[in-house]
């Protein structure tokens, strides 16, 4: 499984980056109809990162499942975000 390069969070949102900064952003695909979970893609379709906005347990599950289906490790602990879920 590919490990994240970086995990950042702020104000109830999280970003899990898998590609380094040399991979150019080419587009985004929503993984959930409200747009609360999305994946950023590079020019060759490679996964740059997963963005989770308005974090809650269901959004986290969607991101975790996508990561698993695509051979990506997903952080077990997003403690910086979890207190905002209550």
Digit-coded pLDDT (tens) for 56-85: 889 999 999 999 999 999 998 765 554 444
Instruction: Round to whole Å and give the CA distance between 72 and 18.
Output: 8
Domain boundaries, the chain: 6-75
For the purposes of burial, counting CB atoms within 10 Å of the CB of 3, is it exposed (0-12), middle (13-18) or buried (19 or more)? Answer: exposed
- CA distances to 11, 25, 50, 69 from 1, rounded to whole Å, are 28, 22, 15, 10
Digit-coded pLDDT (tens) for 40-55: 999 999 999 999 998 8
How many residues comprise the chain? 86
Digit-coded pLDDT (tens) for 2-61: 999 999 988 889 999 999 999 999 999 999 998 999 999 999 999 999 999 988 889 999
């Amino acid at each position: 499984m590919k490990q994240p390069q970086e995990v950042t969070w702020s104000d109830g949102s999280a970003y899990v980056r898998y590609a380094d900064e040399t991979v150019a952003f080419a587009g985004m695909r929503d993984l959930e109809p409200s747009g609360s979970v999305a994946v950023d893609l590079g020019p060759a379709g490679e996964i740059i990162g997963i963005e989770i906005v308005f974090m809650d347990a269901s959004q986290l599950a969607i991101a975790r499942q996508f990561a698993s289906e695509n051979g990506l490790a997903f952080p077990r602990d997003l403690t910086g975000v979890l207190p905002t879920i209550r």
